[in-house]
Structure 1
Amino acid sequence: MRRLLGLLLFLALALAQGLGPYWQEVQAQGTVCSDGSPWRFYVSPGDPKKVLLDFQGGGACWDAQTCGPQSQTYRKRVDVQELLLAQGIYNRASIANPFFGWTHVFIPYCTGDLHVGRATVDYGGFKVHHQGARNALAALEYVFKNYPKAERVFVTGCSAGGYGAVFWADKVLAAYKNAQIAVCGDAALGVSTTDFAGSRVWNARLPELPGLGPNPSVEEIYRALARAYPGAAFAQYTTQLDGTQIYFYALMKKEVPPSEATAREWAVRAQTSLQSLAKEPNFTYYLAPGSQHCILPRPELYTLKVGEVSVLDWLRSLAEKGQAPRVGP
């Protein structure tokens, strides 16, 4: 209880003080959240030659049940809790942060469409603005214009943000042909059912890469990226039994709460996908024990270690060298 009260006090103080001095709000004309409220993004200035592109997570929705006004499966308005808590990669004052001194661009998520939607959908009595693609593109165009000489670019995101990172990686790679680029999804493996309708419902903007079909899996997108851009690095982080990823997989199967069988099924498919992608020389992964969801916004970023490799060193190696060892089975 004392810890909770302390956290609430910290949040109250942070809200009272705003996001300064680390974060600057950027308005983006023509952008919108799922409920019609305005969207914006945030920049923490640093070295203009080192740019961190960070897509926020926050669930997803794809039908009347998951997208309903009372649904808790997706974020409906801009919420900058990560910036206020200042943990993990958001601790801009810590020299231990792998991105200390970098320019950090935070791309909020409030459209329920993994940052790729291009549709406003009537679900029978209520509409949801799945306009994540418009929002993401506004932030990327700002970055391309204001940081044209970036030499290192790290594209990432937690959960739904991890999908945003891989879905928009082709655009970033095309814009920064001479930069050292790494793309790392955090807790975003893309294990889904064969009939998952999200991309179709959202009219999703998907990567433009050789060999990709009309409805590619996340694994197929990573593989196509790795082959199209052999000089870039691609990676994923996850825990072996990520509770949130398992929950959404079960939701696709219309099975809530998830059964043990579904959890095991997800775990097997997740590891199979990682090991298959690991055949690509420029793909790596960090598979941690447990069920925690995401590492980037958490204090565990500074303490987690599997075997001899800490996740902090693994992430720093990706950011600084464009390569890192494979950790886990």
Structure 2
Amino acid sequence: MKRLIALVVALALALAQGLEAFWKAVEVPGGVCSDGSPYRFYVSPGDPKKVVLDFQGGGACWDAATCGPQSQTYRKRVDVQELLLAQGIYNRMSVANPFFGWTHVFVPYCTGDLHVGRATVDYGGFKVHHQGARNAQAALEYVFRNHAQAERVFVTGCSAGAYGAIFWADKVLATYKNAQVAVCGDAGVGVATPDFPGYARWNPRFPELPGLSARPSVSEIYLALSRAYPKAVLAQYTTLLDGTQIFFYGLMKGERTPSEATAREWATEAQKAVLTPAQAENYTFYLAPGSQHCILPRPELYTLKVGEASFLDWLKALAEGKVAPRVRP
């Protein structure tokens, strides 16, 4: 047992040292996670004129059941397992990575509010700090201050991070008017029930764009961004039966395990959400079969194909500021 414990400790130290070789923590004074623990984000230095702004995923919570201390539906403190695993776009050593040599700013997610909350909520005996907007704003200010002359900016995120990317894209686009900017949401298409209470709980920061409704849908935001910034590239990726997105849609409907009817309903609405902004010429999408959730943190980023359309080639085009061809099975 002592040898096993020593081995685990040694492995943890090795992983931490490996992380520090590529990623530098930036502490955020006043930043806070849902459980009150301190917040920080991470930067992997590279070309200062090419920047990936990457919002982490990690679920969400909006009531006593989903936000409870034992709930597994959201991250409660900073957790950087994606960086430790070093797969997909986090493989900083691979020249096949479309962002090899870029500066990569990783914005951890630990507030259960899709990176946009501005509230601390008492759910009946315990409080949750939905302060994602404060944390995200600190990361944005760092990028704007340290990379004022960026020529290429790629704004992205997986799952809840996909919402962070699209909800904060207006700030990035307004700042980098002369840069090539692409925004790509990975597995966060925005299917929600009409009575979803999360936004009311979180007091969110929504994009500041002309024509948006008081509670805009994700597809509405993509379309508004496409129109307001015609030189930008807007994009989405999802699988047709994304198990995690279906799970959360089921939770919104009060189902701990989503029914087949809920899965079919989500699939229909998800395709509508992805296809609706396609009326804009600077918007594109990649729809893949299956139920896998997210692709950017996974090795499949380098191997996935739908027909003859390689996801890696699609992503490379976005990194170069090009509108990649639209892909669907």
TM bin (shorter chain): over 0.9
Distance 2:261 2:132 in 1: 33
Q: Does 1:134 align with 2:116?
A: no
Q: Does 1:255 align with 2:255?
A: yes
Find the residue that maps to 2:49 and give its secondary structure.
strand
Which amino acid is 1:60 matched to?
A
Residues 187 and 294 in structure 1, CA contact (< 8 A), matched pair in contact too? yes
Distance 1:146 1:11 in 2: 34
Q: Structure 1 vs Structure 2: percent identity of aligned residues?
A: 77
Q: CA deviation at 1:17?
A: 2.0
Q: CA deviation at 1:321?
A: 3.2
Q: CA offsets per residue over residues 84-111 of structure 1, 9 Å max, x none? A: 0000000000000010010000000000
Hey, what does 1:51 align to over in structure 2? 51
Find the residue that maps to 2:25 and give its secondary structure.
strand
Hey, what does 2:284 align to over in structure 1? 284
Q: CA deviation at 1:13?
A: 5.6
Distance 2:9 2:240 in 1: 34
Hey, what does 1:155 align to over in structure 2? 155
| Root mean square deviation of aligned Cα | 1.3
- Gaps of at least 5 residues in structure 1 are 1-7
Q: CA offsets per residue over residues 25-44 of structure 1, 9 Å max, x none? A: 11111100000000000000
The 3 A distance-change label for structure 1 pair 37 and 257 is same
Q: CA deviation at 1:169?
A: 0.2
The 3 A distance-change label for structure 1 pair 9 and 269 is farther
Find the residue that maps to 2:279 and give its secondary structure.
coil
The 3 A distance-change label for structure 1 pair 306 and 176 is same
Q: CA offsets per residue over residues 232-279 of structure 1, 9 Å max, x none? A: 010000001000000000100001200111101111111122222112
Q: CA offsets per residue over residues 205-239 of structure 1, 9 Å max, x none? A: 00000001111111111111111111101000000
Q: CA deviation at 1:10?
A: 10
Q: CA offsets per residue over residues 303-329 of structure 1, 9 Å max, x none? A: 111111111110010111331010005
TM-score by length of structure 2 reads: 0.96
- Gaps of at least 5 residues in structure 2 are 1-7
Which amino acid is 1:134 matched to?
R
Distance 1:143 1:16 in 2: 24
Distance 1:252 1:103 in 2: 37
Hey, what does 2:74 align to over in structure 1? 74
Distance 2:69 2:185 in 1: 29
Which amino acid is 2:273 matched to?
S
Which amino acid is 2:275 matched to?
Q
Structural mapping, 1:106-145, within 5 Å: 106-145=106-145
Residues 78 and 109 in structure 2, CA contact (< 8 A), matched pair in contact too? yes
Residues 11 and 85 in structure 1, CA contact (< 8 A), matched pair in contact too? no
Find the residue that maps to 1:236 and give its secondary structure.
strand
Q: CA deviation at 1:140?
A: 0.3
Distance 1:13 1:303 in 2: 32
Q: How many residues align?
A: 322
Find the residue that maps to 2:134 and give its secondary structure.
helix
Distance 2:121 2:97 in 1: 40
Hey, what does 2:267 align to over in structure 1? 267
TM-score by length of structure 1 reads: 0.96
Hey, what does 2:320 align to over in structure 1? 320
Distance 2:297 2:55 in 1: 12
Residues 166 and 183 in structure 2, CA contact (< 8 A), matched pair in contact too? yes
Q: CA deviation at 1:15?
A: 3.0
Distance 1:184 1:257 in 2: 29
Hey, what does 1:171 align to over in structure 2? 171
Hey, what does 1:242 align to over in structure 2? 242
Which amino acid is 1:174 matched to?
A
Q: CA offsets per residue over residues 112-147 of structure 1, 9 Å max, x none? A: 000000000000100000000000000000000000
Distance 1:20 1:35 in 2: 25
Hey, what does 2:88 align to over in structure 1? 88
Which amino acid is 1:63 matched to?
D
